[in-house]
Amino acid sequence: MITPTGSSAARLDQLIAQRQPGWSLPRDFYVAADLFELDLERIYRRHWLLAGPVCRLTQPGDYFTCEVGNDSLIFVREDSGEIRGFHNVCRHRGSRICLDAEGHTKRFVCPYHNWSYLLSGDLAHARHLPESVPTGDLGLHPFDVRVVAGLIFFCLAEQPPEFGTTAEDVDRFFSPHQLDRTRIARRTTEVIRANWKVVAENFWECYHCGPTHPEFCGVMSYAHAQNNTRLAAERVEFEHSWELETTARGGVSGTVPLAPPALHQGGRVPIRPGYLTQSRDGQPVAPLLGEATEYDGAVTSFMHYPLLWYLACNDHALLTRFTPKSPLETELELTWLVAETAVEGRDYNADEVAWLWSVTAAQDKSICENNQLGILSSRYQPGPYVTTESSVDGFVTWYLHELSRTS
């Protein structure tokens, strides 16, 4: 556990005190190695994160790995069908066990000395281990995993924070999409050369959408509404009419505001008049998901602190996973899902399914990297957030509060 002491604790207190409410952070928060390690300890190892969709683990023995800092994590469907999470660390001398990003196995076998573990994490065999050593204490280290509406969430904290409210809201909005009955249409991974908070601030606002995302603004009618009184009024009227129609036919609509102690917001909202899904022309790009009987022209979207975001239309879904890799690098994994029975080339074209958010993610990567380069300049100073960046100010305020908590 990383706990600032002495001069380092005083430095942290001083940096937090320097931050003016309503303004961006002092430079060190975006570049300093010691603060990055503290971010991992007090933000990413304390809160619930998204690992991926359950469709990555369809059979007992299926597994995949991901990383949080130096922690490599294994997600596996064990023999009972339950999805479990274990640290990818052999209990012998600490070697990593799973060296592949994903696969299928009957047992986990350490490549160093061949200690083996059941899918339940229990030690199965250790050659020449003295009989006096209790094997029951040598299972893989577990961490908390929750599966909600086909999504795998996890928390590395010894005492995870409350998750029930979040689970209820996610289940209410995403269960109709039946993401547990999907398949991966495409998954991409790339590194954004920027601190994770630069990336987070970008994703917690749409102030940049007009100048940066013409494709997104062409699809989502709310993107420009914040900049024009007439468009804002039209958007309100459009949402109201859509909600009345959706409610009348028993569909899911409405939003959930970000209200502590829950650290999420989202809901289901319409896209724009004439658009059935988030595609180039608004027309479906894949078969219907889950319980849907028609394309209702809406999108379900949720965001969580620190930086979790995922969405579903009637015909496809997108999951994102942001992983801080270094003070100046953040990994972004994008996973697009379609119905499990859909066949590529017949029922969908992966390029069309991924079009909107592939383009948007590339644009976000560029502006975040440019933002980071400016922060590295000797002339960088914190700047004021505008009124439409209140959610960014909220994120930064939450972040500093969490960073200052010692437990």
Mean pLDDT computed over 175-203: 98
Q: Report whether pLDDT(1) > 60.
A: no
> Rounded to an integer, what distance in angstroms lies between the CA atom of residue 7 and that of residue 14?
10
pLDDT given at position 5? 52
Domain 50-155 has CATH 2.102.10.10: yes
pLDDT given at position 330? 98
pLDDT given at position 228? 78
Detail the DSSP E strand segments found in 244-328: 254-256, 264-270, 298-304, 308-312, 317-326
Each residue of 36-84: pLDDT tens digit?
Answer: 999 999 999 999 999 999 999 999 999 999 999 999 999 999 999 999 9
Helix (H, G, I), strand (E, B) or coil at 73: strand
Name the token pair of 104: 């299928």
pLDDT given at position 6? 52
Prediction pTM value: 0.95
Mean pLDDT computed over 135-148: 97
DSSP 133: S
Each residue of 391-407: pLDDT tens digit?
Answer: 999 999 999 999 998 87
Mean pLDDT computed over 247-270: 91
pLDDT given at position 301? 97
> Rounded to an integer, what distance in angstroms lies between the CA atom of residue 172 and that of residue 80?
26
> Rounded to an integer, what distance in angstroms lies between the CA atom of residue 136 and that of residue 119?
15
DSSP 188: E
Lowest mean pLDDT among 5-19, 306-320, 342-356: 5-19
Asked whether the CA dihedral 131, 137, 141, 147 is positive or negative, the reply is positive
Mean pLDDT computed over 208-234: 86
Q: Report whether pLDDT(122) > 80.
A: yes
Find, among 57, 58, 91, 86, the residue nearest to 74 by Cα: 86
Each residue of 286-298: pLDDT tens digit?
Answer: 999 999 999 999 9
CB atoms within 10 A of CB 356: 22
How many Cα atoms are found within 13 Å in the side-chain-facing hemisphere of 78?
15
Name the token pair of 312: 């579903």
pLDDT given at position 227? 74
Burial of 243 (0-12, 13-18, 19+ CB in 10 A): middle
The residue ranking higher by pLDDT, 9 or 42, is 42
For residue 279, give the amino acid letter.
Answer: S
Quote the mean pLDDT of the chain.
95
Q: Which residues of 282-313 are buried (b: 16+ CB within 10 A; e: fewer)?
A: bebbbbbbbebeebbbbbbbbbbbbbbbbbbb
Q: Which residues of 362-394 are buried (b: 16+ CB within 10 A; e: fewer)?
A: ebbbebbbebbeebeeeeeebeebeeebebbbe
Mean pLDDT computed over 359-386: 98
> Rounded to an integer, what distance in angstroms lies between the CA atom of residue 281 and that of residue 101?
36
Please state which architecture CATH assigns to domain 172-392: Alpha-Beta Complex (3.90)
**Which helix or strand (DSSP H or E) is residue 123 part of?**
strand 123-125
The residue ranking higher by pLDDT, 238 or 339, is 339
Mean pLDDT computed over 307-321: 98
**Which helix or strand (DSSP H or E) is residue 369 part of?**
helix 350-375
pLDDT given at position 2? 57
Domain ranges in the chain are 50-155, 172-392
pLDDT given at position 229? 82
pLDDT given at position 4? 61
- Tell me what percent of the residues of the chain surpass a pLDDT of 70: 98
How many Cα atoms are found within 13 Å in the side-chain-facing hemisphere of 215?
15
Name the token pair of 194: 């920027």
Q: Report whether pLDDT(152) > 80.
A: yes
Question: How many residues does this entry show for the chain?
Answer: 407
Helix, strand, coil percentages, rounded to 5, for the chain: 35, 25, 40
Contact 320, 301 (CB under 8 A): no
Find tokens 């917690």 and name the residue: 204
pLDDT given at position 230? 85
